[in-house]
Structure 1
C-alpha cells in the first residue's frame, strides 16, 4: 500500500502549477490525484455526490476571522497582495489547502450569498482535500460582504475566502 502524505500532494500541486502541463492523472494503489487547469474540467471531474465529513472541532481548528485594519493588505482572489480589507471588517481564511466549494453538492444553492447574515457557527463553504469535504464555519456573527474565491477553485492554507462585517 502506498502512503501518500499531504506534503506529497502539496509538492505535486506545486510542480503541476510551475509546469506547462494542462492536466495530470496519478493513480497509486488506492490513491488517485487528478489536476486540471481548466475550471470546467474540474467541475465535471467532481460532478458526483459529495461526501461531507463533519470533523470534530478538537481535531481540526478553523482559524478565527481576523479583524484587519484598512491599511493592511491581504491576498486577493488572484493571490496578489493588493486587496485591501475595509476598516472594521473581518476576513475568513482557508483552514487548509484544498478545493473551495460554495454549495454542499453540485446544483445546490450556495451556503451563503453576499449580504446574508451568518452566525459564528454557520457553515459558509466546503474545502475538499482528497475527497474529504470539510465544512468551514463563519467564526464570527455578521453579514457576508465579499466572496473572494470562485467555486471549485484551489485555495492555499490561510487564503482569504470571505469578508464579513461583524455584528456590533
Structure 2
C-alpha cells in the first residue's frame, strides 16, 4: 500500500473512531473495508470475521525478527524446521487472550486445528481473531502479549500434524 493510501486509511479509521457511527462499509475499486464498534458484528460476508494466515515454511535455526521498527516481538526464538508460521493480518496490538485476566487462547505444546483462534489483533477498537490455518501443535509464541505488531509479522510457529 502506498504511503499516501496508508495515511488516508489511518485518517479514515481515526475519523470513524471519533464519530457516532457504529458501522461503516466502504468500497473503492478492489478495496472493501467494513468497520464496526460492535465486537459481535458480522464481517463483509455476513458471518464472523475470519482472517486467513500466510503459511510459510521457515528453515531450522532461523529466528523470528520483524523488520518493521514499530513492531515489537518477544526475544528471538528458534523456529523448528518445517513449522508453519501464523502471521499478523495487519498493523495492530497483539492480544493472547480474549480479555484481560482471561486464559490465553493457546499455549506452547497445545494441539490446534485450522479454525483454532490463536490470538486477537486490534486496531482502532476493531478486534480480529487470528486462526491457526493448519492442524498441528503450537511450537513457539513469537510476540509478547500487548505488543504492537506489523502486517505479516510472525506471531506463532505451528508444527503441522
Pairwise TM-score range, normalised by the shorter structure: 0.5 to 0.7
In structure 2, distance between residues paired with 1:62 and 1:128:
16
Q: Which residue of 1 aligns with 2:7?
A: 8
Distance 1:128 1:11, change over 3 A: closer
Q: Which residue of 1 aligns with 2:56?
A: 66
In structure 1, distance between residues paired with 2:145 and 2:93:
8
Work out whether 1:94 is the aligned partner of 2:94: no
Q: Which residue of 1 aligns with 2:120?
A: 126
Structure 1: gaps (5+ residues): 13-26, 33-49
Cα deviation digits, residues 17-69 of structure 1 (max 9, x gap): xxxxxxxxxx868539xxxxxxxxxxxxxxxxx93656357987523322222
Work out whether 1:55 is the aligned partner of 2:39: no
Task: For CA contacts below 8 A with separation 6 or more, give which structure has more relative contact order.
Answer: 2
In structure 2, distance between residues paired with 1:54 and 1:161:
25
Distance 1:132 1:83, change over 3 A: same
Instruction: List structure 1 segments (4+ residues) > 3 angstroms apart after TM superposition.
Output: 9-12, 27-30, 50-61, 71-74, 76-79
Cα deviation digits, residues 106-132 of structure 1 (max 9, x gap): 111110011100001110000001000
Superposed displacement of residue 83, structure 1: 5.6
The normalised TM-score by structure 2 is 0.65
Aligned residues: CA RMSD: 3.5
- How many aligned residue pairs are there? 131
